[in-house]
């Protein structure tokens, strides 16, 4: 994965997001109170860090269970570095971790397998929390069907890896070598998830994933309370996870736009003013997703710097 290409993509997405915010503000003048929301940001950011730590513990546990031993601090920076490109479709940019872990002898397929395994339990955790706010059966059926469809597809491929092997061979016949290679990597990654199909791994992954999402959802509840929004606690806990599912279904990079629109729509259902709902949507996105991007960029800068000095030192000796 090209770091330069990934950085360009992330920078472009951030620029487009800021332009969209400026356009919305110029038409509605709803962000003049955003500076006041910054007062609660230290708490929201603190909760985001707790969520990052819980996710990291799950990820490090998976690598350890697969027989990989890496320095805890280095692994943490490598994990955070993935967040630099979390605003990509399906969060695929997070696979930049392969670049850093390869130097520690961690095979790419294992990093991909851990990534897929994490997404599976994130989907299940989000579905559980989303169910708290779904009162209409048709919406629940749609959300449940979306999650089940993805999980069923992954299970089918895991049980039948030959499908992707044949697809790769077919693509090679038409000289689509890159797509053929992606199919093989995807095959190895999905098949690799079987390493963690044990009661202990499943239980721990589910527990840590659910706890991480509860922490993030609770930060949204705090933000709503700070903005003076009073809605049922279970509904407020479920709004952000449900919005993230909508963002994932939209296939937009990081769910940008679709996630915010869903948050505003769900809050409007509880008669929350559009301006306040939009402020809440932007506030939680800045304190969670965009904060994770900043942390990822910092971690990546540290790792790239360490790599540069290590290479320079080796060349001089």
Q: What is the DSSP letter of 230?
A: -
pLDDT value at residue 137: 65
Percent of the chain with pLDDT over 70: 85
pLDDT value at residue 248: 77
CB 278 within 8 A of CB 264: yes
pLDDT value at residue 212: 95
Round to whole Å and give the CA distance between 121 and 207: 9
pLDDT value at residue 84: 87
pLDDT value at residue 111: 92
CB 273 within 8 A of CB 230: no
- pTM, whole model, 2 decimals? 0.86
The greatest distance separating any two alpha carbons of the chain, rounded to the nearest whole angstrom, comes to 68
Cβ–Cβ contacts within 10 Å for residue 33, how many? 12
The low-confidence residues of the chain, meaning pLDDT below 70, are: 1-9, 21-36, 89-90, 133-140, 308, 310-311, 313-317
Q: How far is CA 54 from CA 70, 118, 211, 292, in A?
A: 18, 12, 8, 14
Round to whole Å and give the CA distance between 282 and 20: 11
pLDDT value at residue 139: 66
- Token pair for 310: 């290590």
Cβ-based neighbours of 84, under 8 Å, separated by 6 or more: 6, 7, 10, 93, 96, 293, 296, 297, 299, 300
Hey, CA dihedral for 225, 250, 246, 83, is it positive or negative?
Answer: negative
């Amino acid at each position: 994965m090209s770091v330069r290409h990934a950085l360009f993509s992330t920078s472009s997405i951030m620029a487009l997001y800021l332009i969209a915010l400026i356009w919305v503000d110029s038409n509605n003048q709803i962000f003049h109170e955003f500076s006041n929301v910054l007062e609660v940001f230290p708490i929201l950011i603190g909760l985001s860090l707790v969520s990052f730590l819980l996710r990291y513990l799950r990820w490090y546990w998976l690598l350890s269970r697969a027989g990989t031993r890496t320095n805890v601090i280095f692994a943490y920076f490598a994990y955070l570095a993935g967040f630099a490109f979390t605003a990509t479709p399906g969060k695929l940019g997070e696979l930049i971790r392969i670049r850093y872990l390869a130097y520690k002898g961690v095979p790419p397929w294992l990093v991909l397998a851990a990534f897929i395994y994490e997404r599976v339990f994130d989907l299940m955790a989000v579905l559980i929390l989303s169910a708290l706010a779904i009162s209409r059966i048709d919406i629940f059926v749609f959300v449940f069907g979306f999650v089940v469809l993805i999980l069923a597809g992954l299970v089918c491929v895991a049980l039948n890896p030959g499908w992707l092997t044949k697809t790769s061979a077919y693509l090679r016949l038409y000289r689509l070598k890159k797509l053929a290679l992606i199919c093989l990597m995807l095959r190895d990654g999905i098949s690799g998830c079987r390493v963690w199909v044990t009661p202990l791994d499943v239980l721990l992954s589910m527990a840590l994933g659910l706890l991480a999402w509860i922490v993030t959802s609770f930060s949204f509840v705090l933000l709503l309370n700070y903005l003076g929004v009073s809605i049922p606690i279970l509904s407020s806990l479920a709004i952000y996870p449900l919005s993230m599912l909508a963002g994932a279904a939209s296939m937009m990079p990081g769910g940008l736009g679709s996630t915010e629109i869903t948050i505003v729509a769900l809050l409007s259902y509880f008669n929350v003013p559009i301006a306040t709902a939009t402020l809440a949507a932007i506030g939680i996105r800045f304190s969670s997703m965009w904060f994770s991007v900043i942390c990822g960029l910092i971690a990546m800068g540290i790792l790239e710097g360490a790599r540069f000095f290590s290479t320079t030192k080796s060349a001089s000796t």
